[in-house]
Structure 1
């Protein structure tokens, strides 16, 4: 593993129990492995989907500025009818 940087963390009773449970079940050899795996997954998710707070604020504002929302069901019903009609005229069937 190379050089390690020891840290002390505090977990809620529920999280501590979850860590203990997976170690007891043999899914991980130690609590440290559980935490390292969780942190790797968090980092991967953050790297793939992470937005800065400023980016999130900008996206929220774009949504607000785009105007009021629309109920999706009527739109989906119209699209479904449109494409079923198109499929019917080309010999396709559902």
Structure 2
């Protein structure tokens, strides 16, 4: 590990209890480990967000460079019909995976 720097942080009572619970369960050896894991998760989330943003910017750039339609009207309406049928069959509780989405990515709905 790199040179450690000691910091003092203030957390809510609920966060403090969560930290204690993680340590007491044996999942982590100390409160510091819990905080470090949380910071690593935050860093990973920010990197993933940056990757998604870069992908989106590339898609926009490609779209602007090629103004032709990316999907035909028939494809778009077929996708909408499929989504509506899937939602109706599932009681409108789950969003089906779109064939127009980037593989491995879920769109925000």
TM-score range, shorter chain: 0.5 to 0.7
User: Are 2:26 and 1:21 equivalent residues in the alignment?
Assistant: no
- CA, structure 1 residues 78+18, in 2 after alignment: closer, same or farther (shift >3 Å)? closer
1:4 paired residue number: 4
Aligned length: 60
- CA, structure 1 residues 77+12, in 2 after alignment: closer, same or farther (shift >3 Å)? same
Aligned-pair Cα RMSD in Å: 3.0
Give the TM-score, by structure 1 length. 0.54
User: 1:53-64 counterparts in 2 under 5 A?
Assistant: none
Note the C-alpha offset of 1:5.
1.5
Give the TM-score, by structure 2 length. 0.47
Note the C-alpha offset of 1:2.
2.8
Structure 2 CA distance for aligned equivalents of residues 36 and 78 of structure 1: 41
Higher helix share: 1
Encode CA deviations 1:25-51: one digit per residue, 9 max, x unaligned: 100000000000000010011011146
Q: Which runs of 5+ in 2 are unaligned?
A: 58-79, 86-109
In our comparison, the structure showing a higher alpha carbon Rg is 1
Q: Which runs of 5+ in 1 are unaligned?
A: 56-74, 81-94
| Runs of 4+ residues over 2 Å off in structure 1 | 75-80
Note the C-alpha offset of 1:79.
8.3
